[in-house]
Structure 1
Amino acid sequence: MRIGVPKEIKIHESRVGLTPTAVRELVAHGHQVMVQKNAGIQIDLDDGKYQSAGAEIVETPQEIYAQADLIVKVKEPQPNEISLLRQGQVLFTYLHLAPDPVQTQGLIDSGCIAVAYETVTDSFGGLPLLAPMSEVAGRMAIQAGAHALELDQGGRGMLLGGVSGVPAARVVVIGGGVVGTNAARIAMGVEAHVTVLDKSIHRLQQLDFQYGSRINTVFSTVDALEELVSSADLVIGAVLLPGGAAPKLVTHEMVKRMNRGAVLVDVAIDQGGCFETSKPTTLANPLFTVHGVVHYCVSNMPGAVAKTSTFALNNATLPFVAALANKGYRKALMEDAHLRNGLNVCQGRLTHEAVARDLKLEYTPATAVLD
């Protein structure tokens, strides 16, 4: 199969779909890999490394989209990339379609087969291709929040861990999944006062058992959210509904009650965000203020640490890329229900139920399209 890796064009996005190591694996299986010139240059993956691994270096994305059977990316295709997709071409990347009707319609109209990293599942009930970036984003959320708390960023002028004789900052993490757990770990590491809210008693018990008195766990209710958010110095939004839009758990009224200069970091912004006051921002201009509260809502947070993120992502995606290439998309998806859960759009039809529900579009089961 001919596999194409275009250079990412989203602002301040330096991750790359395949590393030279991944390219070498695919070439060893008999596949041809095209990589756009300088696709990995920002993270020390120069064209020579790709050529040594067996890749062909091409100048333009147009060449890749015109020739490749399988496109491997990191971020959702931008409008000028969607226009290059063609009937029957497989796109494997993060999509986050639920809050993005324009991209969804573009993929439907293209006739491509779009498989989303974020909805591929595993036998443990997890999301194995979202997990590595969730781990990165969770850890980054605390350092981003700590920076936003600085006075010259509009924050309260607080150090997360405090100092001798001065209390630590109060960090509230909404959601105890991969993002929330990693955010809590880093916040505890700098000696902040950490509270995690979740709807799962089982998950809260796990966190209590793991961290003991270093963490406070609270069952998530409207009352609990109102009380804890209003007194927090830093709130991390770490809620996920696989494939669907994130619920708006923190309202305008809750934000109004927060202290001036408190900080909200919305890691769920890719799926629409879990704060009513959120709007997507970029790494170039990450912060804005609403009701005196600083918001950090960057939709590609792991792109700020692109080298770590690229290698972590490739470790997870390579077996699935190999399956799609070795077997062809139809056989690979039919044989693996977990990979099939990643199928969002297939030749003009929307095949993920949560996306279809949130966008109020017609849903077609993946098996019906692949038969």
Structure 2
Amino acid sequence: MLGAGVVGIQAAKMAAGLGAHVTILDVNIKRLCYANDVMPPHVVTEFSNEFNIRRLIKTHDLIIGGVLLKGAKAPNLITRDMLKEMRPGTVIVDVAVDQGGCVETTKPTTHEDPIYIIDDVVHYSVANMPGAVPYTSTMALTNVTLPFALKLANLGWEEACEKDTSLKKGLNIIEGNVVYQEITEAFGW
């Protein structure tokens, strides 16, 4: 697993539950410590760097890219030249596809045509993966976002953002000006 966020942890739980040996990589030590606390012993964590990624891709059959940088493009942690170091039939699931992907060879695919193969490595990079279960994903999203929408509707955006820091952190543009630092950096503004 590339990333110990929600995607990486949940994917690791599923794979570990099926008996797989799982390695989680991340640059956030707190997230790695959390993973160590909640995972069974056959799940190991390592600091994410090019050396560890190159070493581990040679022995792992499934690589799930769950890297998210808020408001920014995901970094390419697996480059095209690394594919040649993987065993034929290795599968990459790049969940970060909606942020550009964390694998250099990622390109968005659809549920109708979800995979492609480069250098004998199978790529699955469906944009909007929750779209496979539209009713369930819509209900989950609505349940989480409705309280915020009600705050905005009842208080107006300025007062709602003053009272709720999570809403304030979600501000991207105010009166035509981009105010979210990561977006300005991602686009070089």
Match of 2:150 among 304, 322, 332: 322
Q: Could you list the per-position Cα deviations for residues 262-299 of structure 1 after superposition, in whole angstroms to 9, with x for gaps in the alignment? A: 11101111111101111111212111111221111111
Question: Relative contact order: is structure 1 or structure 2 higher (C-alpha 8 Å, sep ≥ 6)?
Answer: 1
- Give the equivalent residue in structure 2 for 1:144: none
Q: Report the CA distance between 1:347 and its aligned residue.
A: 3.6
Q: Is the 8 A contact 1:230 1:254 kept in 2?
A: no
Q: Report the CA distance between 1:349 and its aligned residue.
A: 2.1
Q: Could you list the per-position Cα deviations for residues 28-58 of structure 1 after superposition, in whole angstroms to 9, with x for gaps in the alignment? A: xxxxxxxxxxxxxxxxxxxxxxxxxxxxxxx
Q: Is the 8 A contact 1:263 1:293 kept in 2?
A: yes
- Give the equivalent residue in structure 2 for 1:84: none
- 2:13 is equivalent to residue 188 of structure 1: no
Match of 2:74 among 246, 251, 254: 246
Distance between the aligned counterparts of 1:222 and 1:320, measured in 2? 39
Distance between the aligned counterparts of 1:318 and 1:327, measured in 2? 14
Distance between the aligned counterparts of 2:55 and 2:171, measured in 1? 40
Q: Report the CA distance between 1:229 and its aligned residue.
A: 1.2
- 2:111 is equivalent to residue 283 of structure 1: yes
Q: Could you list the per-position Cα deviations for residues 147-205 of structure 1 after superposition, in whole angstroms to 9, with x for gaps in the alignment? A: xxxxxxxxxxxxxxxxxxxxxxxxxx011111100000010111122111112233222
Q: Could you list the per-position Cα deviations for residues 3-51 of structure 1 after superposition, in whole angstroms to 9, with x for gaps in the alignment? A: xxxxxxxxxxxxxxxxxxxxxxxxxxxxxxxxxxxxxxxxxxxxxxxxx
Structure-to-structure mapping, 1:95-110, within 5 angstroms: none
- 2:172 is equivalent to residue 358 of structure 1: no
Distance between the aligned counterparts of 2:30 and 2:179, measured in 1? 31
Q: Report the CA distance between 1:350 and its aligned residue.
A: 1.6
- 2:137 is equivalent to residue 301 of structure 1: no
Letter in 2 for 1:310: T
Q: Report the CA distance between 1:331 and its aligned residue.
A: 2.5
Corresponding pairs, count: 189
- 2:106 is equivalent to residue 256 of structure 1: no
What CA RMSD, in Å, does the superposition of the two structures yield over aligned residues?
1.4
Q: Could you list the per-position Cα deviations for residues 295-329 of structure 1 after superposition, in whole angstroms to 9, with x for gaps in the alignment? A: 11111001111222112111210110001111122
Q: Is the 8 A contact 1:231 1:259 kept in 2?
A: yes
- Give the equivalent residue in structure 2 for 1:146: none
Match of 1:216 among 36, 44, 59: 44
- Give the equivalent residue in structure 2 for 1:225: 53
Q: Could you list the per-position Cα deviations for residues 116-165 of structure 1 after superposition, in whole angstroms to 9, with x for gaps in the alignment? A: xxxxxxxxxxxxxxxxxxxxxxxxxxxxxxxxxxxxxxxxxxxxxxxxxx
Q: SS of 1:197's equivalent?
A: strand
Q: Report the CA distance between 1:352 and its aligned residue.
A: 1.3
Bigger radius of gyration among the two:
1
Q: SS of 1:212's equivalent?
A: coil
- Give the equivalent residue in structure 2 for 1:292: 120
Q: How much identity, in percent, do the aligned residues show?
A: 46
Letter in 2 for 1:235: I
Q: Is the 8 A contact 2:16 2:40 kept in 1?
A: no
Q: Is the 8 A contact 1:248 1:275 kept in 2?
A: yes
Match of 2:25 among 192, 197, 219: 197
- Give the equivalent residue in structure 1 for 2:165: 337
TM-score, L = length of structure 1: 0.49
Q: Is the 8 A contact 2:2 2:66 kept in 1?
A: yes
Distance between the aligned counterparts of 2:166 and 2:105, measured in 1? 34
TM-score, L = length of structure 2: 0.93
Q: SS of 1:321's equivalent?
A: helix
Q: Report the CA distance between 1:338 and its aligned residue.
A: 1.7
Q: SS of 1:206's equivalent?
A: helix
Unaligned stretches of 5+ in structure 2? none
Q: Could you list the per-position Cα deviations for residues 200-245 of structure 1 after superposition, in whole angstroms to 9, with x for gaps in the alignment? A: 2332222222223121211212111001012221100011111111
Q: SS of 2:133's equivalent?
A: helix
Q: Is the 8 A contact 1:246 1:272 kept in 2?
A: yes
